[in-house]
Chains A and B, each alone.
Chain A
Amino acid sequence: MSENGHDHPHEEPRHESSPWAARIRAVEELLVEKGVFTKKEVKAQVEYMEARTYENGARLVARAWVDPAFKERLLSDTKAAAAELGMDASGPIGFMTLENTDEVHNVIVCTLCSCYPRAILGIPPDWYKSFAYRSRVVVEPREVLREFGLELPEDKRIAVHDSSADLRYLVLPQRPQGTEGMGEAELATLVTRDSLIGTDVPRAPGTRTNRFEAPSG
Chain B
Amino acid sequence: MIRPAAGARFAPGDAVRVLDMEKEGHVRTPDYAKGKPGWVAEYLGAFPDPESLAYGGDGLPEKPLYKVGFRQTDLWDGYGGSPEDVLFLDIYEHWLEPREHDGEEQRS
Contacts and interface: CB of A to CB of B under 8 A. Distances in A.
Contacts of B28: 112, 164-165
Interface of A is mostly: mixed
Contacts of A139: 76, 79
Interface in B68-104: 72, 75-76, 79-82, 84-92
Contacts of B81: 140-142, 158
Interface in A115-169: 138-143, 154-155, 157-167
Contact of B45 (A94, A104, A158): A94
B29 interface: yes
A112 B91 CA distance: 13
A162 B1 contact: no
Nearest to A103: B108
B47 to A, nearest CB: 4
B70 to A, nearest CB: 9
Given A112-B30, A159-B85, A165 B108 contact: no
Contacts of A167: 44, 65, 90
A77 B1 contact: yes
Contacts of A80: 1
A94 B87 contact: no
Contact of B90 (A79, A155, A163): A163
Counting chain A residues whose Cβ lies within 8 A of the other chain, the interface size class is 20 to 34
Contacts of A94: 1, 44-45
Contact of A164 (B30, B45, B80, B108): B30
Contact of A161 (B45, B84, B88): B88
Nearest to B83: A157
B47 A165 contact: yes
A76 B85 CA distance: 24
B82 to A, nearest CB: 6
15 contacts: A76-B1, A94-B44, A104-B108, A111-B30, A141-B81, A158-B82, A158-B86, A159-B87, A160-B87, A162-B87, A163-B90, A164-B91, A165-B28, A165-B90, A166-B50
Interface of B: 1, 28-30, 32, 44-45, 47, 50, 65, 72, 75-76, 79-82, 84-92, 107-108
Given A158-B86, A166-B50, 17 more contacts: A79-B1, A94-B45, A138-B32, A139-B79, A140-B80, A142-B81, A142-B82, A160-B87, A162-B30, A162-B90, A163-B90, A164-B29, A165-B47, A165-B50, A165-B90, A166-B47, A167-B65
